Structure formats: C-alpha cells, structure tokens
C-alpha cells in the first residue's frame, strides 16, 4: 500500500503530465497556422509522450493500490507568438516538470518508498533527455534567426520524428 502523501503527489504529477499534453496540443495550433508540418509532427509526438508519462503514473499508482483522483486540467497558456518564444516556453515548462518530478522523488524518499523511487528513476532520466532535446532545438532556432530556408530545412527534419511507446519503470 502506498503512503497517502506519496499518493497525493503522484495524483498531482498525473495532472501535470496531462497539462503538458494539453499545452503541447495548444502549441501545435500555432504551427498548423504557420503551415510548418514538421513542427506540427514534433508537437504531435510530444503530446503522445506526455500522455504516456501520465498513463505510466496512472498505472503505477493503480498497481500499488493507490486511489487515482483526476482533477481539472488548467487551460493551456501559450505565451509567445513566434517560434523562438514558444520553444523558450517549452524549455521553461520542461524545467518546471523536472522540478516537480524531483519533488515527487523527494516525497518517495521521505516516505522511504524504495519501489516508488526506483520507478521514478525512469522519469528523472527522461527529463534529462527532454531538456537536452528542447535545449538543442532552441540553440538551432537561435542560429537560424530569420533565415526562412534554414527554417524549412529544420521543419523537414522534424517531420521525421516518430513516437515510440516508452517502456516506463
């Protein structure tokens, strides 16, 4: 049986992962409007990944006999209105998610739940990858600047990204 405080922290993180899914779905709209289909595809994959992250925790909480409680998902707020500021927000958001995953791991540590800590290691590693991917993309976008041709080349590259169902835990 899972500790109540840890159960609440897992439920909170499920909500945050679903919010991430919702936020990336909202960002995808901008790229659809710009007709940048590679970016649209990148966000599609991102949306599926976030859904998988939420479901990984959902299934884990269930497996541990915890009570799953779904709260309302906040309205997604896309702050910027250009590619660079949207990706700055993506990085900022991933850094925030990292801090929440670390918090969840702290609660697992506090409650001496070694199994949960072991499970959460997957998410800790995933966040390193997420931040590195987005950070890399952001650096490329800064290099591209106003170069439309280079942007279209990047768009083509992003069209090749595919979703791979992660094996979590």
Residue 7 is a binding residue for ligand OFO (CB under 6 A) = no
Across 36-53, b (16+ Cβ under 10 Å) vs e yields bebbbbbbbebbbbbbbb
Site for ligand OFO in 60-89 (CB under 6 A): none
Tell me which DSSP letter residue 66 carries: P
Task: Work out how close the CB of 127 gets to ligand OFO at its nearest, in angstroms, rounded to a whole number.
Answer: 6
Least distance in angstroms from the C-beta of 20 to ligand OFO: 4
Count CA within 13 A, CB hemisphere, residue 163. 14
Return d(Cα 105, Cα 46) in angstroms, integer. Answer: 23
Which C-beta is closer to ligand OFO: that of 123 or that of 151? 123
Q: How many CB atoms lie within 10 A of CB 151?
A: 19
| Residue (50 or 155) nearer to ligand OFO, CB | 50
Number of H helices, E strands in the chain: 5, 0
Helix 114-144 × helix 83-110 angle, to 10°: 170
Min separation Cβ 158 and ligand OFO, Å: 17
Least distance between ligand OFO and beta carbon 138 (Å):
15
Residue 123 CA to residue 152 CA, distance in Å, equals 32
Give the x/- contact pattern for ligand OFO in 124-153, rule: CB under 6 A: ------x-----------------------
Nearer to ligand OFO, 133 or 140 (CB): 133
128 vs 143, beta carbon nearer ligand OFO: 128
17 binds ligand OFO (CB under 6 A): yes
Residues 20-39 that bind ligand OFO (CB under 6 A): 20
- CA 150 from chain center: how many Å? 26
Binding site for ligand OFO (CB under 6 A): 17, 20, 50, 53, 94, 97, 130
């Amino acid at each position: 049986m899972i500790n109540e405080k840890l159960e609440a922290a897992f439920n909170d993180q499920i909500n945050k992962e679903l919010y991430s899914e919702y936020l990336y779905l909202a960002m995808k709209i901008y790229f659809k409007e710009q007709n940048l289909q590679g970016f649209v595809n990148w966000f599609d994959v991102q949306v599926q990944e976030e859904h998988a992250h939420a479901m990984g925790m959902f299934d884990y909480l269930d497996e541990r006999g915890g009570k799953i409680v779904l709260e309302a998902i906040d309205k997604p707020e896309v702050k910027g209105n250009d590619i660079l500021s949207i990706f700055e927000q993506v990085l900022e958001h991933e850094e925030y998610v990292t801090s929440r995953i670390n918090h969840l791991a702290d609660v697992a540590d506090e409650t001496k739940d070694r199994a949960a800590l072991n499970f959460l290691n997957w998410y800790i590693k995933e966040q390193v990858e997420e931040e590195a991917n987005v950070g890399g993309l952001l650096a490329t976008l800064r290099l591209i600047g106003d170069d439309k041709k280079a942007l279209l080349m990047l768009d083509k590259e992003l069209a090749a990204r595919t979703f791979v169902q992660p094996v979590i835990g």
